[in-house]
Amino acid sequence: MEGRYLVNFNSKELPQHETEILIVGGGIAGLYTAWKAVEEGMRVTVLSKGTIEDSNSGRAQGGIAAALGKTDSPELHYKDTLLAGAGLCDINAVKILVNEGPSRVQELISMGANFDRYGDELAMTKEGAHSKRRILHAHGDATGAEIMRTLASQSEAQEALQILEQHFMIDFLVEDNICSGVLAYDENSGQFRVFRGKAVVLASGGAGQLYQYTTNPEVATGDGVAAAYRAGAEVMDMEFVQFHPTTLVLPEAPRFLISEAVRGEGALLRNSNGERFMTRYHGMAELAPRDIVSRAILSEMANTDQDYVYLDLTTLPRERIQKRFPTITATCSRFGLDITSELIPVAPAAHYMMGGIKTNYHGETSIAGLFACGESACQGVHGANRLASNSLLDGLVYGRRIVDAVKKYLKCNSIGSNIHFVCESMFDPAGNFTALKKELQQCMGDNVGPLRTIQRLSHALAFLNKNDWLIKHRCRTPQEMELRNMLEVGRLIAQAAMMRTESRGGHFRLDFPEAMSQWKKHIIIRR
C-alpha cells in the first residue's frame, strides 16, 4: 500500500467510532440522505469538513428545478436536460431525476421548506435552457439556505443522527475492494480518528477551489473525489467543468454568483460598448445553455479588451429587483453598486463539476460499501453540461435511492473492525504550500478553463507532473491535505480533457472545435 494514504497511521492505535451509516459531507445531499436513513431506522454519523454552513448548498441562489407547474411535465424537463447535456446524458439517470424529483421537492415542503409563492401557488422562475418556468426559489434568491435550514432543523431533532463538524476526511479504509470507514482529522482536538460504518456515503461536494476564480467556498477542494480515486474507485467525465457565466467582478469583491434567475427575469447581457450581444450567439439569447453563454462572454471580453461584460437589470422595476433578489442587491450594495440603476460587471468563474465518482442509479461505486451522491458523484445525469438548478434535485433524488440500496447492503454486511492499515515510506519535504496552491489555481484557470488547446493542457500537465513529489508527501495539516487532493483532481481533469479531442458542453477545445459522433462516450479513469 506504499504511497496510497496521505498520512502514516496504524488504524488500531487511533480512537474508534462505529456507526451503521457514515456520511461524509454536510451539504444538502449529505443531510437529506442522513435524514432519510434515520427515517428508515438506521443509526447515522455525518462528518462535515467545516460547519454545515460552509457548503456550496447554502450558496445556491436560483433554486431547484422540478416539473410541478400546471403546463409543465417530467417529459419536458427530461428533454431540456438532454439538450443542455450535449448528447452525453445517461437517459435512464435523467428519467429517474425528472420523474422522482417532484416527490422529493414536495417532501421538502412537507418538512417545512418555505418556497416563495404567489398566493397559494408556488412561485417559479425560468433559467437558461429551460422551456418552462419550473425553478422554485425561497426568500427571493436564498433557496439553498432555506433548504439547508429545513434539513438542519430536522436533523437536530433526530437522536439517531450525529453531526460532527470540523472533521476532515482524509482517506477511505478499503481492503479487498470493500470500504469499511474513513480516516479523519478532528480539527477540534487535533487528533486523527477512525470512523467505521457498515456503509459509507460520500457527499463531499465539488472542486471549484482548483481555479483562481470560482463561486465555490474555501472547502470545495475535491477531497472526496481524490480519496475515492486513491482507494481505487472509478471516476467519470472529469473533463466537464461548468463555468457560471455571470459572477461579480469588482475590486476587493469575491467572485460572487449573480444568479441565472436574474436573466430569467429579464436582465440582458451587454458588452463594454453597451451592445446586447447574446442574440448573435444563440437563439435563446441570454437563456442559452451555460457553456454557450460563458464562451460568448469570453469572446466579447476579448473583442473589447475588457475583463468583464455587463448584466443590465435597469429596465426592471426597482421594487421587483429588491424583492426578487435581496441577497444579490445587498451584496452588490456593500461594494458600492446599486443594481437597480447601475450595470453589473460580470465574467465567468468555475462553478460546478459534472464529473466525479462513477456510480450506478443507486449511488453504488466500484468499491463495495462506498456510495456517492451530489456533486462528488457522477451517474451521467448532467452529461457534458448541467441544466441550471438540476444540482439540488440530483442530491435529493439520488440520496433517497442510496438509502434504498444501503438497506439491502446492510442485510449481508457488517462493520469490518478487524481491517488493519499501515502506510510507510513517506517523507516530509520543505515547500511553500500557500504559494503552490496559488500557482495551481492560476495554472488551472489559464490552461484548463472554458477554452482549451493541446498546448494549454500540456502546460497544465507539465506543472502537475513537476509537483508529483507530493504523492509521497506525509501531510501534516488539513491545508496540505487539501493541496494534495487538488493536485490529484486537477490531474484527472487535465488528463481527461487532453484525451477528449472534440468540443462538447463544458469542454471546449479550440484545436478541436466541433462535436464528434465517435466521442459520444464517457471517459472513465481508475487508478
Catalytic positions, written as ranges: 290
Q: Which three cell numbers stand for residue 406?
A: 444501503
What CA–CA distance (Å, rounded) separates 153 from 151?
5
The answer for residues whose C-beta is within 8 angstroms of residue 429's C-beta and 6 or more apart is: 469, 470, 473
What CA–CA distance (Å, rounded) separates 206 from 356?
8
3-state helix/strand/coil string of 341-401: CCCEEEEEEEEEECCEEECCCCCECCCECEEECHHHEECCCCCCCCCCCCHHHHHHHHHHH
What string of DSSP letters covers 167-222? EEEEEEEEETTEEEEEEEEETTTTEEEEEEEEEEEE-----GGGSSSBSS-TT-S-
The answer for residues whose C-beta is within 8 angstroms of residue 423's C-beta and 6 or more apart is: 1, 2, 3, 4, 5, 7, 8, 9
Q: Are 433 and 133 in contact (CB under 8 A)?
A: no
DSSP tag of 269: E
What CA–CA distance (Å, rounded) separates 379 from 357?
8
3-state helix/strand/coil string of 292-312: HHHHHHHHHHHHHCCCCEEEE
Query: What stretch of H or E contains 496?
Result: helix 478-499
Q: Which backbone phi and psi does 33 adopt, to 5 degrees?
A: -60, -40
Q: Give the three-class secondary structure for 450.
A: coil
DSSP tag of 234: -
Q: Are 327 and 256 in contact (CB under 8 A)?
A: no
What CA–CA distance (Å, rounded) separates 148 from 48?
14
**CA distances (Å), 378 to each of 56, 216, 363, 440, in order?**
17, 19, 9, 24
Amino acid letter for position 397 = V
What CA–CA distance (Å, rounded) separates 127 from 86?
17
Cβ neighbour number for residue 491 with a 10 Å cutoff: 21
CA atoms within 13 A on the CB side of 492: 33
DSSP tag of 512: B
The answer for residues whose C-beta is within 8 angstroms of residue 328's C-beta and 6 or more apart is: 61, 141, 256, 258, 259, 262, 339
Q: Are 44 and 23 in contact (CB under 8 A)?
A: yes
